[in-house]
């Protein structure tokens, strides 16, 4: 689901909107068949319903994208934290954008549960201190 090229360990953005732009750009570079404006609309629509800032320094913005059958994700790390409007009102340091395609829809809750478990494990701190995208992907692979 996650690809090394869609893991950004030094997000430049300090706002939720800027981070979404960075991560969607990375995701569409890996999946050129995705339309960045449509992905942004999907993520923004879900975010309007309820903040995906789940607490503990993490957010899992996600949405359904009918133009694919796969599940795809991008991961971003902010060194300074993002004022995300998280449920615990604390800054977010790690953002997992997940896009769920039509054929993957039945796995949606399993995917979110696995990411939530990862957030509540030591993996979150390991990802925050990863030296490069490959190391972060290896950590994801061990915990996800």
Find the CATH number of the domain harbouring 67: 3.40.930.10
Q: What DSSP string runs through 45-81?
A: HHHHHS--EEETTEE--EEEETT-SSEEEEEEEEEEE
The burial class, CB within 10 Å (0-12 / 13-18 / 19+), for 38 is middle
Q: What is the pTM of this model?
A: 0.91
Q: What percent of the chain has pLDDT over 70?
A: 97
Is 30 a residue whose pLDDT tops 80? yes
pLDDT of residue 108: 77
Mean of pLDDT values over 22-31: 96
Confidence class for position 103, pLDDT limits 50, 70, 90: low
pLDDT at 69: 78
Domain region containing 22: 2-143
Q: Dig out the tokens for 20 from the structure.
A: 């979404």
Average pLDDT over residues 109-120: 86
Arithmetic mean of pLDDT, 58-84: 91
- Report the domain count for the chain: 1
Beta partners for residue 76, in sequence order: 8, 95
């Amino acid at each position: 689901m996650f690809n090394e090229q869609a893991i950004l360990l030094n997000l430049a953005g300090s706002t939720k909107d800027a981070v979404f732009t960075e991560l969607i750009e990375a995701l569409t570079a890996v999946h050129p068949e995705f339309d960045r404006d449509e992905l942004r609309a999907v993520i923004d629509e879900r975010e309007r319903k309820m903040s995906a800032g789940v607490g503990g320094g993490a957010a899992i913005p996600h949405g359904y994208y009918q133009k694919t059958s796969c599940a795809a994700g991008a991961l971003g790390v902010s060194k300074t934290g993002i004022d995300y409007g998280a449920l615990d009102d604390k800054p977010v340091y790690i953002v997992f954008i997940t896009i769920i395609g039509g054929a993957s829809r039945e796995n949606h809750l399993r995917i979110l549960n696995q990411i939530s478990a990862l957030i509540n494990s030591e993996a979150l701190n390991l990802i925050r201190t990863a030296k490069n995208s490959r190391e972060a992907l290896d950590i994801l692979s061990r915990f996800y």
